[in-house]
A and B are shown apart, each in its own frame.
Chain A
Amino acid sequence: MALKNKVMAYLLSKYVDFLTQRVTFYKSRTSLYADFEVEHLKDIDDAANRKIELRIAKNARLYATADYEASDKKEVFEGTSKLQIAAYQKKLRMRYRIEREKARRAIAKLTEEDKSGEQIKLIDQNLASFEASLAEELEAYKAKRHIAFEKSLERDLSKAKPTAQELEALKSRLTADNETYTAAVNAKREAKRAKFVRSNKARIAKLEGKLNNFQAKLKVQLERIQQDSYALPEGVILRAENLCMFFGGVKAVNDLTFDVKQGEIFGLIGPNGAGKTTVFNCITQFNKPTSGHLYLRNRLDEVVNLNKLAVHNVILQGIVRTFQNLEVVKEVSVLDNLLIAAHRQYQSNFFVHMLHLPILRLEEKVIRARADKILAFMGLSLYRDWYAWGLPYGVLKKIEIARTLMADPHLIILDEPAAGLNDSETVELANLIRRIRDEYKCTILLVEHDMGLVMDVCDNILAISFGKKLAQGSAKEIQSNKDVQAAYLGAPEEVER
């Protein structure tokens, strides 16, 4: 009996997982098609504009042909001759340069051998005579052109020249043609846009229907299982309760309890070896805590028990992190690094990837557009297609932060973001952190040793030492706390000296 209940509970949890996965899938697809709409409308506009441009160019060429026939050919000839003669002059110049180089090399050889100026003068004379011969060639070319032009004028005398009225008529006809064509293309474009928007909306509506269906089912099932949900107080986004992480005998984190409020910048300070990075590893489930609770209030305002998540599912709740020793993938380009960060936003499976089906192209387009926006935000657009291999440290740091933004963050964890930056760069970083918090409406946790940055940027600071909490509070409170001064900051008298 107990076995049957256990099996039923297990199957139910698997069904709930399936429903949740379907809900995420359909949500992601609706937002994908919503974003795709913008991109595709741009594409339709581009294609239409290209068509119009081609038509206008074609008509311009027709008009130019007639214009030439009607014009005073001599004037036109002078104009184009200038350009053609310049091109011919360039060719002659190249031949001159070849001779000049030969002369230079001969002189270089000679100046070793004989010091008399005779040989050198001979070579210079040869070069000058070559230059003269090239000038003659140019004159011959000009003369030939003139003769050929006169001949062609004689041939053309028999043809009828179009009059000014004919030209005007042609121009008006072509302009009218341009306008009708533009109107036609624009009409088609509007029709295409309308059709696409309609079909897209229909598609989104269908997907939303399925989404609501699955959400309803999920709600029903969630009411059936007794979920012991923890109640987080309003405004608190992350709570660690009695967090302990022991590596064998080493107590890296020893009974730590703290709250992080929504939308604040939370700093974690302490001497080296205090367990700061271990705390972050526990939050992101890279190390499973030995004991203690971790609760997160996610984007949907649900309370999630982080210890139940696998390490590769933590990003789905909106927790993203950077690493102390930048873990940027050096083998691929900067853009690819951001696309790797967006990995969980691709809902297509392995077979779609192997066959490059159209849905993958859609997803790629939308996610690449988003990546470009983030690169522009961070100021990395120049490095978009460069391999991350040889880039400077500051740029790699920015890539690391851009990666966290790519995953639509709810809680960003920065592990020593100011390591290796000088004072001015640290000030820039502080501004960047505030900008990110304001624009992406997320909470930021950071570990830092640079007290200037911490006191400047953090709203709430937690000081730990040897895995234990020393104090928590605002910058002023931490600075004046005796325990923190003793363990880490140093007492005021020492600073003055």
Chain B
Amino acid sequence: MNNRFKNEYLAHASPRPESGWKAHAKRIMSNPLGQFGLLGLLLAITQLLNIAGIVPRSIMTTIAFVSIYSIAAIGFCLLLGYSGLASLGTAGFMGLGIYLCYYGLQEWQISILPAFLIAGIASIVIGFVVGFVSLRIEGIYLAIMTLALSEIIVKLLKTIKGSTLIIRGVNLNFFGIPLSNNAVYFTIIVVLVMLLVGTANLINSPTGRAMVAMKSSVAAAQAMGISLLKYRLLAFIISTLFAGIAGFFYHAYLPGISPTTATILTLSMSLNILGAVIIGGAKSLWGTLVGTFVIYGFQSIFLQNIAFFNENPAFMMMVTGVLIILVVMFYPGGFAQMLFTLRLWLKKMTKKWRIYRYGIEE
């Protein structure tokens, strides 16, 4: 029997402890595995919708490439935002991944897992080299050195193999099981989520704090026992490894379709990744994802639907460029800073509106 007065009395006399769903949601959202797991779930559902026919192929391709570039951008976020080391070599490190994927699958005809391991090991070795270089050189000169290294790598690869890389025949196979395009997409999502969670964990761990200390004050870091060599090496190895993985999946996703794979490996790709991290917020992982989407996905998904841009395609690049300029001019902390400022502004506006509507109570 639902007695309103009894319930009123009980609510005052013996209050019940708080019940759960909000607390549970908060716990999931505050845990990196929860946050990025939900993102991965969302992306996987998009692919299932594509298989069902609701989501068109072009959007899937864009999302896949945005995820691939995000993998490289996350490594770069750790390097730039948390370790404070500048590197313009992302194109070369991705190129290494692309070419090793091609070699593994077409030339040497090995299955995908060994090829992946080879690409990973090669990236780690290159990361080692760059890490040692970074002890001697700092700031923009380090960026120039990494740019030089990446140009050397790309030129070397092009001279050996050329710019046209096509994997003919179905030889994407994982221990004998032939892999379709959809399976590669799911692998990309899984790898993206794993790396996101790993990086988020790293940031909130002693290693992440050591990197921030190294960025902030070299003398204090050394006095507190943080070896510069070790953490610079670690930062560069992670960054090049992530870029190599991204390159590997770049070629594994559309193996037989892009004949000019290697022509994208220029300074502009490195600068795009740099731009993605900066407009997202150098210290924010979610911001990096949003930034990568803005640079690589915004055009294809949103702008191409507007008739004006369909007729004048050059204006699409302009919009992206103007967006980057505005963000860097007014919100140098990127989208993360924008969100924070937005929240503060909303609080202030709510307070102002309250005073407008209700007046000040004396």
> Is B228 a contact of A312 with CB atoms below 8 Å?
yes
Contacting residues, chain B, for A155 (C-beta < 8 A): 1
Contacting residues, chain A, for B8 (C-beta < 8 A): 80, 83-84
> Is B202 a contact of A315 with CB atoms below 8 Å?
no
Bound together, the chains give a CA A328 to CA B212 distance in angstroms of 11
> Is B6 a contact of A65 with CB atoms below 8 Å?
yes
> Is A286 a contact of B198 with CB atoms below 8 Å?
no
CB of A6 closer than 8 Å to a CB of B:
no
B226's partner among A76, A343, A360 (CB-CB below 8 A) is A343
Question: Residue-by-residue, is B94-113 near A (CB-CB < 8 Å gives 1, otherwise 0)?
Answer: 00000000000000000000
Bound together, the chains give a CA A104 to CA B356 distance in angstroms of 11
Of B22-30, B132-140, B217-225, B272-280, the one with at least 4 CB within 8 A of chain A: B217-225
A286's partner among B16, B210, B219, B224 (CB-CB below 8 A) is B219
> Is A354 a contact of B198 with CB atoms below 8 Å?
yes
Bound together, the chains give a CA A355 to CA B202 distance in angstroms of 8
B201's partner among A79, A83, A356 (CB-CB below 8 A) is A356
Contacting residues, chain B, for A80 (C-beta < 8 A): 5, 8-9, 12
> Is B217 a contact of A327 with CB atoms below 8 Å?
yes
CB of B205 closer than 8 Å to a CB of A:
yes
A152-B5, A315-B224 known; A94-B12 Cβ under 8 A: no
CB contact list, A56-70 vs B, under 8 A: 57, 60-61, 64-65, 68
Taking the closest CB of chain B, its distance from the CB of A292, in whole angstroms, is 21
Instruction: Tell me the nearest residue of chain B to A336, going by C-beta.
Output: B209
Question: Residue-by-residue, is B190-228 near A (CB-CB < 8 Å gives 1, otherwise 0)?
Answer: 000000001001101111111011011101111111111
B222's partner among A100, A156, A286, A328 (CB-CB below 8 A) is A286
> Is B213 a contact of A340 with CB atoms below 8 Å?
yes
Contacting residues, chain B, for A348 (C-beta < 8 A): 206
CB of A77 closer than 8 Å to a CB of B:
yes
CB of A323 closer than 8 Å to a CB of B:
yes
Instruction: Tell me the nearest residue of chain A to B209, going by C-beta.
Output: A340
CB of B351 closer than 8 Å to a CB of A:
no
CB of A254 closer than 8 Å to a CB of B:
no
> Is A148 a contact of B224 with CB atoms below 8 Å?
no
CB contact list, A71-130 vs B, under 8 A: 73, 76-77, 79-80, 83-84, 94, 97-98, 100-101, 104
CB of B13 closer than 8 Å to a CB of A:
yes
CB of A436 closer than 8 Å to a CB of B:
no
Bound together, the chains give a CA A354 to CA B206 distance in angstroms of 10
A152-B3, A327-B220 known; A312-B227 Cβ under 8 A: yes
A84-B8, A355-B198 known; A64-B225 Cβ under 8 A: no
Contacting residues, chain B, for A331 (C-beta < 8 A): 212, 215-216, 283
> Is B4 a contact of A152 with CB atoms below 8 Å?
yes
User: How big is the A interface, by class?
Assistant: 35 or more
Instruction: Tell me the nearest residue of chain A to B32, going by C-beta.
Output: A356
CB contact list, B205-256 vs A, under 8 A: 205-210, 212-213, 215-217, 219-228, 234
Question: Residue-by-residue, is A343-356 near B (CB-CB < 8 Å gives 1, otherwise 0)?
Answer: 11010101001111
Taking the closest CB of chain B, its distance from the CB of A327, in whole angstroms, is 4
Chain A-chain B contacts (Cβ-Cβ < 8 Å), number: 139
> Is A353 a contact of B207 with CB atoms below 8 Å?
yes
Instruction: Tell me the nearest residue of chain A to B234, going by C-beta.
Output: A350
Instruction: Tell me the nearest residue of chain B to A281, going by C-beta.
Output: B219
A61-B14, A68-B6 known; A343-B209 Cβ under 8 A: yes
> Is B210 a contact of A343 with CB atoms below 8 Å?
yes
Bound together, the chains give a CA A407 to CA B202 distance in angstroms of 22
Bound together, the chains give a CA A149 to CA B208 distance in angstroms of 63
Question: Size of chain B's interface in residues, with CB distance under 8 A?
Answer: 45
Contacting residues, chain A, for B3 (C-beta < 8 A): 152, 156
Instruction: Tell me the nearest residue of chain B to A94, going by C-beta.
Output: B358
> Is A54 a contact of B17 with CB atoms below 8 Å?
yes
> Is A323 a contact of B219 with CB atoms below 8 Å?
yes
A97's partner among B10, B283, B361 (CB-CB below 8 A) is B361
A76-B9, A313-B225 known; A332-B209 Cβ under 8 A: yes
Bound together, the chains give a CA A65 to CA B1 distance in angstroms of 13
CB of A320 closer than 8 Å to a CB of B:
yes
Among B208, B221, B224, the one with the most A-chain Cβ atoms within 10 Å of its Cβ is: B224
CB of A341 closer than 8 Å to a CB of B:
yes
Chain B contact residues: over half helix, strand or loop, or mixed? helix
Contacting residues, chain A, for B220 (C-beta < 8 A): 323, 327-329
A321's partner among B206, B209, B223, B359 (CB-CB below 8 A) is B223
> Is A64 a contact of B210 with CB atoms below 8 Å?
no
> Is B201 a contact of A104 with CB atoms below 8 Å?
no
Taking the closest CB of chain A, its distance from the CB of B191, in whole angstroms, is 14
Contacting residues, chain B, for A329 (C-beta < 8 A): 212-213, 216-217, 220
Contacting residues, chain A, for B217 (C-beta < 8 A): 327, 329
Contacting residues, chain B, for A104 (C-beta < 8 A): 359
Bound together, the chains give a CA A321 to CA B224 distance in angstroms of 9
Contacting residues, chain A, for B227 (C-beta < 8 A): 310, 312
> Is A353 a contact of B206 with CB atoms below 8 Å?
yes
Bound together, the chains give a CA A79 to CA B8 distance in angstroms of 10
Bound together, the chains give a CA A331 to CA B220 distance in angstroms of 14
Contacting residues, chain A, for B205 (C-beta < 8 A): 353-354, 356, 360
Contacting residues, chain B, for A101 (C-beta < 8 A): 356-359
Taking the closest CB of chain B, its distance from the CB of A432, in whole angstroms, is 20
Bound together, the chains give a CA A80 to CA B9 distance in angstroms of 6
A57-B16, A60-B14 known; A98-B357 Cβ under 8 A: yes
Instruction: Tell me the nearest residue of chain A to B237, going by C-beta.
Output: A350
Bound together, the chains give a CA A339 to CA B215 distance in angstroms of 16
A104-B359, A340-B210, A407-B224 known; A353-B202 Cβ under 8 A: yes
Contacting residues, chain A, for B213 (C-beta < 8 A): 329, 340, 343
Bound together, the chains give a CA A320 to CA B224 distance in angstroms of 7
> Is A316 a contact of B225 with CB atoms below 8 Å?
yes
Contacting residues, chain A, for B210 (C-beta < 8 A): 340, 343
Bound together, the chains give a CA A64 to CA B9 distance in angstroms of 9
Taking the closest CB of chain B, its distance from the CB of A436, in whole angstroms, is 18
> Is B223 a contact of A148 with CB atoms below 8 Å?
no
> Is B212 a contact of A332 with CB atoms below 8 Å?
yes
Taking the closest CB of chain B, its distance from the CB of A194, in whole angstroms, is 29
CB of A403 closer than 8 Å to a CB of B:
yes
Contacting residues, chain B, for A320 (C-beta < 8 A): 223-224
CB contact list, B335-362 vs A, under 8 A: 356-359, 361
Contacting residues, chain A, for B225 (C-beta < 8 A): 312-316, 343-344, 407
Taking the closest CB of chain A, its distance from the CB of B197, in whole angstroms, is 9
> Is B222 a contact of A312 with CB atoms below 8 Å?
yes
Bound together, the chains give a CA A340 to CA B212 distance in angstroms of 9
Ordered nearest first, which 5 A-B pairs have the shortest CB separation? A353-B205, A327-B220, A344-B225, A315-B225, A327-B217
Please name 19 further chain A to chain B contacts, defined as beta carbons within 8 Å, in addition to the given A83-B8, A327-B223, A340-B209, sorted by A numbering. Answer: A54-B17, A61-B14, A64-B10, A76-B9, A84-B8, A101-B359, A286-B223, A314-B223, A329-B213, A340-B213, A343-B206, A343-B209, A343-B213, A343-B224, A343-B225, A346-B206, A353-B205, A354-B207, A356-B205
Query: What are 10 contact pairs spanning A and B, CB under 8 A?
Result: A76-B5, A83-B12, A97-B357, A284-B223, A320-B223, A323-B223, A327-B217, A339-B209, A343-B226, A344-B225
A→B interface (CB under 8 Å): 54, 57, 60-61, 64-65, 68, 73, 76-77, 79-80, 83-84, 94, 97-98, 100-101, 104, 148-149, 152, 155-156, 284, 286, 310-316, 320-321, 323, 327-332, 336, 339-341, 343-344, 346, 348, 350, 353-356, 360, 403, 407
